[in-house]
Amino acid sequence: MTMKQRDDDVVAPFSYLDSLLDDLRVEGRGDVAANDGLLARLHAEVMDHVGDARPVDDKDTDAMPYLQAFVKELLRKHPPTYFSLTHAAVQPGSKLAGYDIPTDANLDIFLPTISEDPKLWDRPTEFDPDRFLAGGETADITGSAGIRMIPFGAGRRICPGLAMGTTHIALMVARMVQAFEWSAHPSQPKLDFKDRVEFTVVMDRPLRAAVKPRNLSF
């Protein structure tokens, strides 16, 4: 697909969109493509709140509870990086798992260990946005109300991109679902979610998905 002009708008090629989505850590592409039921619920919510007469904007996403739950689950299962920014031990006499932690020691927090801890989460290995809907599990992604998932770190060294990142992930997922039908590609019926570290954590094997444009009014 090449760049093309439509009225005053430029429609970006898939290669550009793929790069942008990787930068925003939207591995939800894989989770969406692997789960038709999840996809249908996301699309239904977008249609209920926005329809197909205009693109979703960032203000719309705040009113979509399932989309917000999806983004939280995405960040729980696929944090942007393995480790938080380095913190320092400031309290004398600290211990961790029986080890003495000297004052001013550098501390790097391995994020997946927290977000998939069975002591903290029900069915931690499953991708299930429903866990964050009303009456389900709760999580403060800033870590201020307890450490259960901190995809952007915590404390004074929390990532300054938290607000922008979560907003853009929600917007991009909503627009992807609004504009396209997603399904598993015949050559990759079972997705491999093994990852690797580049600038952020990315899928080790590039996603192959069947994508069909929807009939939209804009």
Q: Which residues are annotated as a binding site for heme?
A: 159
* Distances from the Cα of 126 to the Cα of 43, 121, 188, angstroms: 21, 10, 20
Distance CA 40, CA 52 (A): 15
Binding site: residue ranges? 159
Secondary structure of 97-109 in the HEC alphabet?
CCEEECCCCEECC
Query: What 3-state DSSP class applies to 114?
Result: helix
181 phi, psi to nearest 5 deg: -90, 130
Question: Six-digit token pair at 151?
Answer: 């995809």
